[in-house]
Structure 1
């Protein structure tokens, strides 16, 4: 168990990089999903009523 803790404690800075990259990646993913959703809504609003 102690070996795992030692590995997670400052091994070249990858743990700090993950602390930054994970939230940034989530934010980018949410922005991408919102863009795709907005583009789909724009495509559906072409003036026709298809009900």
Structure 2
């Protein structure tokens, strides 16, 4: 018997992925979120030299 994911459950999972990938800081990225790290990497040449 296949169980369907409700809209609410899907929204909770999507929000968790969004939070993890866009908002949450990561120690391996020097405590930047993924979005912040990518922005600094692409727009700040001195940032790339530090790493």
TM-score, shorter chain, exceeding 0.5: no
Between Structure 1 and Structure 2, whose CA radius of gyration is higher? 1
**Where is the strand percentage greater, Structure 1 or Structure 2?**
2
Question: TM-score normalized by structure 1?
Answer: 0.36
Question: TM-score normalized by structure 2?
Answer: 0.36
